[in-house]
Amino acid sequence: MKELKRAVAKEALKFIEDDMIVSLGTGSTTAYFLEYLGKLIMEEELEDVYGVPTSYQARLLALEYGVPVVGLDEVDAIDIAVDGADEVDLNLNLIKGRGAALTMEKIVEYRAGTFLVLVDESKLVERLGQKMPVPIEVIPAAWRAIKEELEVFNATAELRMASKKDGPVVTENGNFLLDARFHRIDDPLDLEIELNNIPGVVENGIFADIADIVLVGTREGVKRLER
């Protein structure tokens, strides 16, 4: 899988041109992309490219690999957003948020001129929710009430616990995460909107109708899916 992730990350470089503002996603696949992007910038094969990080991870990697960073509030527009995903369905709807950065990711990916998604073939599913839960970022005080409310959606949710800290994962926005398993997701866009209507929900990990291009690393090479 590592090699497939590296292959899509390398292919993504073909979408980057001089003078672009690139949103930098979170996760292991975008980490490879950042490594390759930094190399091109350091070798001056790309000029005046700036990255908008979606997380501390993306920011630290950008600094390590020599990709200049700017904040979202410093740029007029984002030319392209590059990020991984946890699941991609047949209509290129996504589940994201395993890395807990879904809110910032959605903010920039929604606004980007092009949203380019990088995955290996294990992420492809017929229907969202087949393998992964939907992460939901919630205001800490509301976690239990929202967990109970999710039962109305026929979902069971778990508070995401930290592994190198006692207690729950706290996002970079100071919130908790519920990982929700739905019985069946037939209409991702509808569910995305409904979840965000629950008071106390900050954002959820369904990214319906916003991916423009998905590069899929397969054993037969990188495949390009487009809406």
Q: Which is nearer to ligand 5RP, 123 or 147 (CB)?
A: 123
Q: Please, which of residues 22-51 interact with ligand 5RP by CB under 6 A?
A: 25-29
Residues belonging to the active site: 105
Of the residues 11, 79, 86, 87, which one makes contact with ligand 5RP according to CB under 6 A: 86
**Nearest CA to 8 among 225, 224, 220, 216?**
216
Q: Determine the longest span between alpha carbons in the chain, in angstroms.
A: 54
Token pair recorded at residue 105: 């990711």
- Measured from the CB atom, the residue of 79 and 105 that comes closer to ligand 5RP is 105
Angstrom distance (rounded) from CA 106 to CA 206: 9
Stretch that binds ligand 5RP, among 13-21, 95-103, 169-177, 180-188 (CB under 6 A): 95-103
What is the amino acid identity at position 94? L
Helical (H) or strand (E) element with 53: strand 50-53
- Please tell me whether residue 84 binds ligand 5RP under the rule CB under 6 A: yes
Block residue for tokens 């994962």: 169
Interatomic CA distance for residues 11 and 224, integer angstroms? 10
**Residue with tokens 């630290």, as numbered in its chain:** 60
Which CB sits closer to ligand 5RP, 81 or 100?
A: 100
For residues 179 and 195, the answer to whether their CB atoms sit within 8 Å is no
Asked if 99 interacts with ligand 5RP (CB under 6 A), we say: yes
Question: If binding is defined by CB under 6 A, does position 129 make contact with ligand 5RP?
Answer: no
Question: How many chain residues are in contact with ligand 5RP, going by CB under 6 A?
Answer: 17
| Binding site residue list | 26-29, 83-86, 96-99, 123
Q: For binding to ligand 5RP (CB under 6 A), which residues are involved?
A: 25-29, 83-86, 96-102, 105
